[in-house]
């Protein structure tokens, strides 16, 4: 068994884990959520309009995110597995978080500097690798340090901070990018990028200084080649529910990401909003506030009543919001649908992540939680293909591509909810 020195007994975890520690082990998620929430909903969409054809914007956006997220699927579990087995005197997780953060800060300015699709594409892919290299080890803090009976609560706090990161930064970044979109100067773009960099630096510093890991060790008898070779191997006999868990997570997250990714263009082309950047930011703030209100109580409810009922209810609520969105014809109606989606997403993310921490194999927490990115980033990658379909069908009949997008999201919510019932949590 892996010599993993951050492990403690349940009794030690209960008595040694204080309320403030929930914040310390999840604050890095605040910064990652702020970074990718703003990049994937506002900054990248606006920047692409600088150097791609208007009629192909969804296709180029889809290709960009598809490739980057495939790299994320690989990076997160690989670095997570390395952190499981190869630690330092700083611990098993923090050294990898620090390195990933430094590389992310190195690549981030490229999104503002380069003005060709090829160069922008390359920088985006490097950002995906570096940030997911930090995220994989970070995600293991909950199973490493939190008592099993409080992981729903910890997951609720994690998603609360992630939602807060998205909410707090969306409005100011949206306003800054709206001025850039209006042609008021490139400085507004750089203000946006620098703001995200400062948030990431601050969260990384807090994590490095406040999270208390014991000194890490190297796993005896294991070599780097062996660890890398076993990264994507799932021990199905010991984790029979992990595959249906991944499928359910993939389907439901795919629906959420699709709506997030193409919201700006949907508001432009279907609803006919005159200032789509600001309105998209406002819409996502409503979604985020709803998520924020839901994330913490959903985690508590998951601890009390079980994770699956909360996940099932969130999936069905998401399906209802899609049905209503089909008939939305105004800004207010879209905002109301966004509120429902936020409630559903908050409940889903808290309960689903708590379930994930129950299914991970002992001593391989970062690897298995990194493998959940097969579902998370894999869903994002598939959403990239949706851009091509939207443009193809819109070329045939205006708006048809967006109707197909909504129908796909509805099917994902329903099917993902059904698959949840096949999961049998470990006792």
Mean pLDDT of the chain: 82
Segment 304-329 shows an average pLDDT of: 86
* Helix or strand holding residue 262 (H, E): none
Higher pLDDT, 258 or 234: 258
Between 215-219, 266-270, 323-327, 415-419, the lowest mean confidence (pLDDT) is in 215-219
Segment 304-308 shows an average pLDDT of: 78
Segment 248-271 shows an average pLDDT of: 85
Between 21-25, 196-200, 352-356, the lowest mean confidence (pLDDT) is in 352-356
- Percentage of the chain modeled with pLDDT above 90: 27
- Percentage of the chain modeled with pLDDT above 70: 88
* pLDDT at residue number 82: 83
Checking if the pLDDT of 294 tops 80, the result is: yes
Domain 10-215+240-420 fold:
Growth Hormone; Chain: A; (1.20.1250)
CA–CA distance, 384 with 381 (Å, rounded to integer): 5
Segment 58-62 shows an average pLDDT of: 83
Q: Is there a contact between 93 and 401 (Cβ–Cβ < 8 Å)?
A: no
Segment 314-335 shows an average pLDDT of: 86
Task: State the first-to-last Cα distance of the chain, in angstroms, to the nearest integer.
Answer: 20
Segment 203-226 shows an average pLDDT of: 74
Segment 244-254 shows an average pLDDT of: 89
Render pLDDT for 355-405 as a digit per residue (tens, 0 to 9). Answer: 877 777 666 767 777 777 778 777 877 887 888 888 899 888 888 998 899
* pLDDT at residue number 139: 86
Higher pLDDT, 157 or 374: 157
Range among 73-77, 151-155, 200-204, 277-281 rated most confident: 200-204
* pLDDT at residue number 244: 85
* pLDDT at residue number 228: 61
Predicted TM-score (pTM) of this structure: 0.71
Higher pLDDT, 61 or 199: 199
Task: Tell me the β-bridge partners of 88.
Answer: 91
* Residue entry with tokens 């040694």: 16
Work out whether the CA dihedral 190, 195, 196, 202 comes out positive or negative.
positive
DSSP secondary structure letters along 67-99:
HHHHHHHHHHHHHHHHHHHB-BTTBSSHHHHHH
Checking if the pLDDT of 57 tops 90, the result is: no
Checking if the pLDDT of 265 tops 90, the result is: no
User: Cα-flanking dihedrals φ and ψ of residue 283, to 5°?
Assistant: -60, -45
Segment 67-73 shows an average pLDDT of: 84
* pLDDT at residue number 226: 60
Segment 148-174 shows an average pLDDT of: 82
Task: Tell me the β-bridge partners of 86.
Answer: 218
Task: Tell me the β-bridge partners of 91.
Answer: 88
The domain limits of the chain are 10-215+240-420
Segment 409-427 shows an average pLDDT of: 81
Q: Is there a contact between 308 and 420 (Cβ–Cβ < 8 Å)?
A: yes
Reported confidence tier of residue 269, pLDDT bands at 50, 70, 90: confident
Checking if the pLDDT of 11 tops 60, the result is: no
């Amino acid at each position: 068994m892996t010599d993993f020195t951050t492990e403690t007994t349940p009794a030690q975890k209960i008595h040694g884990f204080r309320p403030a520690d929930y914040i310390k082990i999840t604050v890095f998620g605040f910064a990652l959520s702020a970074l990718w929430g703003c990049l994937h909903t506002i900054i990248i969409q606006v920047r692409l309009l600088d150097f791609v054809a208007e009629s192909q914007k969804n296709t180029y956006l889809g290709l960009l995110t598809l490739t980057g997220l495939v790299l994320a699927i690989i990076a997160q579990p690989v670095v997570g597995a390395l952190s499981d087995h190869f630690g330092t005197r700083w611990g098993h997780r923090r050294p990898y978080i620090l390195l990933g953060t430094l590389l992310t800060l190195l690549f981030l300015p490229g999104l503002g500097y380069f003005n060709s699709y090829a160069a922008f594409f390359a920088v985006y892919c490097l950002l995906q690798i570096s940030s997911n290299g930090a995220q994989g080890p970070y995600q293991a803090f909950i199973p490493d340090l939190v008592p099993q009976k409080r992981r729903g609560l910890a997951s609720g706090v994690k998603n609360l901070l992630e939602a807060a990161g998205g909410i707090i930064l969306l409005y100011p970044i949206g306003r800054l990018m709206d001025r850039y979109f209006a042609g008021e100067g490139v400085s507004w773009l750089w203000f946006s990028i620098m703001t995200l960099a400062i948030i990431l630096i601050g969260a990384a510093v807090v994590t490095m200084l406040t999270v208390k890991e014991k000194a890490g060790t190297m796993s005896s008898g294991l070599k780097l080649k062996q660890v890398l070779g076993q990264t994507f191997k799932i021990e199905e006999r010991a984790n029979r529910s992990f595959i249906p868990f991944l499928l359910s997570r993939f389907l439901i997250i795919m629906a959420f990401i699709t709506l997030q990714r193409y919201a700006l263009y949907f508001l432009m082309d279907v609803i006919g909003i005159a200032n789509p950047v600001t309105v998209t930011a406002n819409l996502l703030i409503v979604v985020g506030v709803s998520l924020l209100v839901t994330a913490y109580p959903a985690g508590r409810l998951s601890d009390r009543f079980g994770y699956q009922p909360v996940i099932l209810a969130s999936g069905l609520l998401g399906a209802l919001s899609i049905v209503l969105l089909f008939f939305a014809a105004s800004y207010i109606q879209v905002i109301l649908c966004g509120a429902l989606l936020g409630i559903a997403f908050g409940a889903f993310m808290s309960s689903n992540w708590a379930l994930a921490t129950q299914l991970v194999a002992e001593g391989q927490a970062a690897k298995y939680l990194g493998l959940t990115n097969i579902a998370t980033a894999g869903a994002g990658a598939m959403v990239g293909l949706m851009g091509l379909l939207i443009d193809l069908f819109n070329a045939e009949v205006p708006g048809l591509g967006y109707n197909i997008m909504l129908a796909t999201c509805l099917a994902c919510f329903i099917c993902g909810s059904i698959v949840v019932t096949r999961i049998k949590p470990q006792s």
